[in-house]
Structure 1
Amino acid sequence: MVHTEVDKSDNNRKNLHNGILKRKMIEPNKLRQQVVQTKAKPGYTSTRLPPLKTRKLPEVKEPKSSETLDDKRSFVPESFRWLIAKRKFERAEKLINFVANVNRVPKPDLKSLFATAMKETITTSKPTAGYTIFTLWSSKELRIVTLALSAVWFAISITWYSIALGMESISVDIFWTMFLINLVDVPAFSVTGPLLNRFGRRKYCFVTFAASSILCCVSGVFQHFDKLSQNSASLTVTALVLSLLAKMTVTAADTAVIVYTAELYPTDVRTTGCGFQGTVGRLGAIAAPLLVHLDGIYPGSMYFTCGMLLFLSTGSILRLKETKDDILQDSVINTLDPGDG
């Protein structure tokens, strides 16, 4: 009896096992078809996706070239020399044709110029090289230019702002004095351009810096004796006239230095060099109020200090080369000596 029940239980297990094995297994592909063919219930949106092979990716529009964008958003054309240095010959040709039409002159033949520029840029330039402020110290020539111009920019900036801010100490009427300070800038701006083209950048800067130095020192002498004589009318007017003349020559020198700086640096680092010298000039502007305060304690000291700084900067100008009628350099490579890296 016991054996019979055990046999029945064994038979039940075998039948259950056989039944599981005999069940129909659904293949994966058929299962996917059943899921896809299932209809969505009313009120629901079907989220069925098409097969990967037939799925289309969204089209990506190509961005416009930087040249087209630059032409549309800029009113001032790009530098012709910079376009040549960067091998943007098509834009350079459009620019030179526009200039020729405006000036009503014949259009030049640029084929030989482009061919020469292509050879020079292939052998001397590095299109992927990045130029920083450290490039201004990469060669002996650039180091001399940067150091000399730094002394010039600091001296001219501290003098210009000191005279503009400290003129009140020798003024007869503050309102007339402020009017005259700005009035003397008009002839300085007007004559600088023609005189630069007539005598050259180096000579004009040297003369204006030397004249400003002498006028500042003489004005400081008259201001000192004016305070000792308890504001003599004749000495006050003389010191005011000399200060206005000094302001005019300093403005002329400042305008010339801006042009001179841009021509001394190669095209690759021209904006970097001008920006660096502008920063040095702002340091001089920051120091100017200190000289104005010193002039209130020791009359004439501000003009003496500015005159000495301008005198020392004339020596820096002599270290620079003349750029009038000279071919400007396009690449930093041209400034490197054989021993430079």
Structure 2
Amino acid sequence: MAPTIEQIFDELGGFHWFQLLMVLWVYSIKAIIAWSMMLMSFAGYESDSMCIVDRLVNQSAIHDMNESQIRQIAEEGTVDNETFLNVCEVNGTDCDDFYFFGVKRTVISEWNLVCDLQWMKAVITSIQFGGVLAGSVIGGQSGDYLGRKKTLYGSYLLHTVLNVISAYSINWQMFAVMRFSIGIMIGVVLVMIVPYPTEFFPLRWRHSIPAIPMWPLGVLAFAGGAWLLEDWANLQLACAAAALPGLLGYFYIPESARWLATRGRLEESHAVLAKMARVNGKKLPPTAMETIKEIAREEKISRKGKDYSYFDIFRGRATAQLTLIVAFKWVVLSMVFYGLSFAVTSFAGDLYLNMFLMSIVELPAYLLTFLLIDRIGRRWTCLGFLAVTTLVSFACVGLHLKAPDDVKDRLISACCLTAKLAVAACWAASQTWVTESYPTVTRSLGYGFANTSSRVGAIIAPFVINLDQMPLFTFILMGTLTLASMILTCFIPETKDKVMAETVHRETHEGANEKSEPQTLPGRSVIPFADTYKATSDSKMSTMNNFVGSWTDSTPLSNAMYNSQPYENGTQNQGYEDICDVHEF
């Protein structure tokens, strides 16, 4: 029997030079994407402003004053002692312009997105995540049709170009369109960024990819860049410049050997394994081609060469349940994660320090995930961190209602940081879990759908995670949804120590991606794409055996399978009279 591709990866060194290159050149792209994704946390910052009414304020005189003098005028006012600070009108007259305090150049100060246009901050953020949602849909389908490599690097190149164009936006409408376009590319990249490198790693190293803290490192770099540049346009240009080295990986990193095998491109798949062996200084096993042919054969049997679509991740009860639970869970994780991330401007204290703290808490989150995920499993890791998020969310409710004013803000901020850490850790574990839960042929579709679902949470996050206007509702919502996610997580099959499947029938048949041989009990036969059936007559037995033979070389139904007794443990299966689904192995 041919070894599995997981065993071949182990023989080629497991985590060796080639896998290290995958991390440095492919997975590091995630850090740049994090920088791009978090732009609005700075670009949407609204500093104090002075309302300028032309007939009441001499703008030329304002320009000759220093900021402290301007603030004094704004606070004291010049007409009936009305303040000019953070208002939309003075003495019944709307502001003609605004003076924003501080040296920060944000989209708020660039296009006066205050007062009647204040809602545009949340809308632009949601527009960006609408693009990410669209990109998640496109990326999942493209990754399985065009391949992992072309999809990832094509979208990453467009992302880089669009950041340059966006830096020269002439109005907020153009900026919003560019954020949507950039969001599409971000969505495509995020769909590919975990499944693609994971498909080059053996079983015991699979969890290591999502546990590498590229995202928080990217956000930390963004916080440092915002502190140095204090300019939304320059931040986008810096993001584009930082992306250039990653694009060079296209000329060296190969396509996924697994994906090539499932597409019937056997020689190319073998060449990828040969390259991996050469880089790692190992000898390619002579049985490698046999393994590749086995993967291709299983794929041909399972779908007879058809392309896959999102319908395939809803085929079968177990798969549909998995997909729906993962979707809900990722909506919640995304809503809390991005809601807290973009609410950083609402925290008391220095903006840059808060951005730094919100980013740095993710590093221990990834470390904890790395340490726990292979010790206690994916399920218990996620359950533990969801429990922490639930507890601190409801703790914030109590603090908001009962804590003394002098410590309330600090305590709530600490709880928010703890919730961010726990959500980040749960999400990191979930990325490994979801990747392992689908077979190769639908892996990017399953992961893509999870990403798509998470973008729904990100889209609504700016409107429901609002610490300025409705903190009590925010914390109750966070606690309730994370509690619901805890309950549903119990129904996702554990994938710890299980080999990833290559084709669909193992996933739909077993409910989890464990690579195993067909199992038969007395009077039972395992049939691909179906459960075990029981016949009630010789003629129906013959029909069923013909049906089995048309799919694969499965064990024929035994003569003991049929009798005239009532159906056992099941109901009549539509489409096959007198043949019963008994749901047993």
TM-score normalized with structure 2 length: 0.42
* Cα distance between partner residues in 2 of 1:298 and 1:111: 60
CA shift, 1:79, in A, is 1.8
Quote the offset at 1:83 in angstroms: 2.2
Letter in 2 for 1:320: I
Question: Structure 2: how far apart are the matches of 1:75 and 1:267?
Answer: 23
Q: 2:302 aligns with which of 120, 124, 143?
A: 124
- Distance (Å, rounded) in 2 between the aligned partners of 1:170 and 1:206: 28
Q: Which has the larger radius of gyration?
A: 1
Identity, in percent, stands at: 25
Select the structure that is richer in helix. Answer: 1
The answer for the alignment partner of 2:331 in structure 1 is: 154
Partner of 2:413: 240
1:122: Cα distance to partner?
4.2
1:141 aligns with 2:318: yes
Per the alignment, residue 220 of structure 1 pairs with 397
Of residues 326, 331, 338, the one that matches 2:503 is 331
Shift in Å at residue 156 of structure 1?
Answer: 0.2
1:319 equivalent among 480, 485, 491: 491
After TM superposition, the structure 1 = structure 2 runs for residues 40-189 of structure 1, keeping only pairs within 5 Å, are 75-109=252-286, 110-127=288-305, 129-189=306-366
The match for 1:11 is none
Per-residue CA shift, 1:96-127, capped at 9, x if unaligned? 22222333344223144245335433433321
**CA distance 1:196–1:161, shift in 2 (3 Å):** same
In 2, the alpha carbon distance for the partners of 1:287 and 1:186 equals 26
User: Does the C-alpha gap of structure 1 residues 279 and 119 become closer, same or farther in structure 2, counting only changes over 3 Å?
Assistant: closer
Q: 3-state SS of the aligned residue for 1:232? A: helix
Q: Cα distance, 1:190 vs. partner?
A: 3.5
Structure 1 residue ranges without an equivalent (≥5): 1-65
Q: For the structure 1 residues 92 and 289, does the alpha-carbon distance in structure 2 shift closer, same or farther, using more than 3 Å as the test? A: same
> What do residues 189-210 of structure 1 show as CA deviations (whole Å, max 9, x unaligned)?
3443343233322221222222
Question: For the residues of structure 1 that align with 2:488 and 2:309, how far apart are their CA atoms?
Answer: 24
Higher relative contact order (CA 8 A, sep 6+): 1
**2: distance between equivalents of 1:199 and 1:105?**
33
Q: 1:111 to 1:174 in 2, by over 3 A?
A: closer
Match of 1:309 among 466, 472, 481: 481
CA deviations on 1:282-324 (whole Å, 9 max, x unpaired) are: 111111112234x434433212211211110112211111112
Number of paired residues?
A: 269
Aligned-CA RMSD value: 2.9
Structure 2: state its 5+ residue gaps: 1-145, 151-248, 509-528, 532-572, 576-585
| One-letter amino acid of the counterpart of residue 265, structure 1 | Y
Tell me which moved more, 212-221 or 240-249: 212-221
When residues 119 and 289 of structure 1 are mapped into structure 2, their CA distance, relative to the original with a 3 A threshold, is closer
Determine if contact 2:295/2:502 at 8 Å carries over to the other structure: no
CA contact 2:334–2:455 (8 Å) conserved in 1: yes
Letter in 1 for 2:530: D
Bigger mean CA deviation after superposition, 262-271 or 76-85: 76-85
CA separation of 1:299 and 1:114: change in aligned 2, threshold 3 A: closer
Amino acid at match of 1:325: D
TM normalised by structure 1 equals: 0.70
